[in-house]
């Protein structure tokens, strides 16, 4: 890794010299000074961001008193932002799914994997009247059928069909009717398998998740495994993800977040608040001496939306 970073730094010096005479917009022509402490992977993502955006800069990764960028960028409370990206998502989902639930007589069904148990436990403490289910490894469809009470619906259909075998009866399995919507707390490996099962049975319910459910996907089109699911994310981020061909989606999201931090850092260094900059990971204009609230909107994963991108 040290060799690759050394090579990159050498290329940076060439790049800075070459772009110093090139014309650029009012934002890009401003040199940004960065002093960041982080891991090698994030250093490469930062360099990737600066090069792609043709930004003129000075950077120092060695200063002990520099800004500490946490290794997990998506969990990091990035400088200038009120909260981390994942925390912003979870806040939006919690308010929509639990606090603003339209039908109080029905229950939210929270489906979570083992590694998400601490988050599910906190939700259960706050909202004990909802249903929580730990998805165990293996036999996912059997678990889902039992959870949704598909078996009783199929049994009733079988009894009806045996009354007169000359009559053809069409049957769509009915799930139990006390579920308002489904909230998934899990990673890509489990999510890509179980969400299609839920979609085939719970056809009239809304699904919700954070972007964690597709972080490890290598191809943007893999998001179609989660069709019908609502995700808190901005339109600009979706377009950025759809145009990326390298890294997994988690790294591409991290690059977008790093881009936002760099642009806001530049705004503060050069007092560019009149530019009314809106970060790609949010929907609010950056204002001086105010932490940035992302105010995320919901985006539904669907084949129709993919056509529009």
Fold topology of 72-139+177-309: Rossmann fold (3.40.50)
pLDDT digits (tens, 9 = 90+) for 266-279: 999 999 999 999 99
Cα–Cα distances in angstroms (integers) from residue 305 to residues 199, 221, 224, 253, in the given order: 17, 11, 10, 19
Using the predicted structure, report yes or no on whether residue 23 has a pLDDT greater than 50.
no
Instruction: Specify the DSSP class assigned to residue 202.
Output: -
Question: What pLDDT band is residue 166 in, cutting at 50, 70 and 90?
Answer: low
Residues contacting 204, CB < 8 A, separation 6+: none
Strands (E), the chain: 32-37, 57-60, 67-68, 107-112, 131-134, 179-185, 206-209, 229-232, 298-300
pLDDT at 5: 52
pLDDT score at 164: 47
Structure confidence at residue 64 as a pLDDT band (50, 70, 90)? confident
CA angle 32, 83, 195 (to 5 degrees): 115
pLDDT bin (cut points 50, 70, 90) of residue 48 is: confident
C-beta separation of 45 from 254 below 8 A: yes
Band (pLDDT 50/70/90 cuts) for residue 3 is very low
Residues 6+ apart with CB under 8 A from 69: 36, 37, 38, 42, 76, 78, 261
Phi/psi region, residue 271 (left: phi>0; alpha: psi -120 to 50; beta: rest), is left
- Ordered by start, the domain boundaries in the chain are 1-69, 72-139+177-309
What is the chain's length?
309
The per-residue pLDDT for 303 is 83
Mean pLDDT over 88-98 rounds to 96
Angle at which helices 140-147 and 188-201 cross, to 10°: 50
Residues 175-233: tens digit of each pLDDT: 678 999 999 999 999 999 999 999 999 988 999 999 999 999 998 989 999 999 999 99
Query: Could you read off the pLDDT of 237-249 as tens digits, one per residue?
Result: 999 888 876 678 9
- Return the closest-CA partner of residue 227 out of 207, 245, 249: 207
Q: Write down the pLDDT at residue 10.
A: 41
Residue 306's pLDDT band (cuts 50, 70, 90): low
Supply the pTM of this predicted model: 0.83
Report whether pLDDT(1) > 70.
no
Per the DSSP assignment, residues forming a β-bridge with 185 are 112
pLDDT tens digits, residue range 171-190? Answer: 345 567 899 999 999 999 99
Number of Cβ within 10 Å of residue 17's Cβ equals: 9
In angstroms, the Cα distances linking 72 to 31, 189, 194, 258 are 27, 19, 26, 12
pLDDT of 111-162, one tens digit each? 999 999 999 999 999 999 999 999 998 889 999 999 998 865 434 433 334 4
pLDDT beyond 80 at 51: yes
Dist CA 255 CA 29 (whole Å): 21
Q: Is the pLDDT of residue 93 over 70?
A: yes
- Tokens linked to 33: 């000074």
């Amino acid at each position: 890794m040290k060799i690759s970073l050394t090579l990159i730094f050498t290329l940076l010096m060439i790049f800075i010299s070459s772009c110093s005479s090139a014309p650029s917009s009012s934002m890009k022509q401003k040199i940004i000074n960065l002093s960041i402490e982080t891991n090698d992977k994030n250093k490469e993502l930062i360099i990737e961001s600066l090069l792609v955006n043709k930004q003129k800069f000075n950077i120092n990764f060695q200063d002990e008193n520099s800004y500490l960028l946490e290794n997990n960028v998506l969990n990091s409370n990035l400088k200038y932002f009120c909260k981390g990206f994942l925390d912003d998502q979870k806040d939006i989902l919690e308010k929509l799914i639990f606090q603003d639930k339209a039908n109080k007589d029905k229950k939210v069904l929270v489906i979570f994997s083992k590694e998400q148990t601490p988050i599910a436990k906190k939700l259960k403490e706050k909202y004990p009247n909802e249903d929580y289910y730990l998805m165990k490894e293996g036999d996912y469809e059997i678990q889902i059928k039992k959870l949704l009470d598909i078996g009783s619906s199929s049994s009733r259909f079988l009894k009806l069909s045996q009354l007169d075998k000359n009559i053809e009866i069409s049957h769509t399995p009915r799930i139990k009717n006390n579920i308002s919507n489904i909230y998934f707390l899990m990673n890509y490996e489990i999510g890509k398998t179980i969400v299609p099962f839920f979609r085939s049975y719970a056809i009239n319910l809304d699904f919700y998740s954070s972007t964690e459910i597709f972080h490890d996907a290598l191809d943007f089109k893999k998001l179609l495994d989660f069709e019908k699911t609502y995700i808190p994310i901005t339109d600009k981020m979706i377009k950025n993800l759809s145009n990326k061909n390298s890294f997994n989606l988690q790294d591409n999201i991290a690059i977008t977040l790093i881009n936002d931090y760099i642009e806001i850092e530049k705004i503060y260094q050069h007092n560019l608040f009149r530019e009314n900059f809106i970060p790609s990971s949010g929907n609010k204009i950056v204002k001086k001496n105010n932490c940035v609230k992302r105010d995320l909107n919901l985006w539904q994963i669907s084949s129709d939306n993919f056509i529009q991108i």
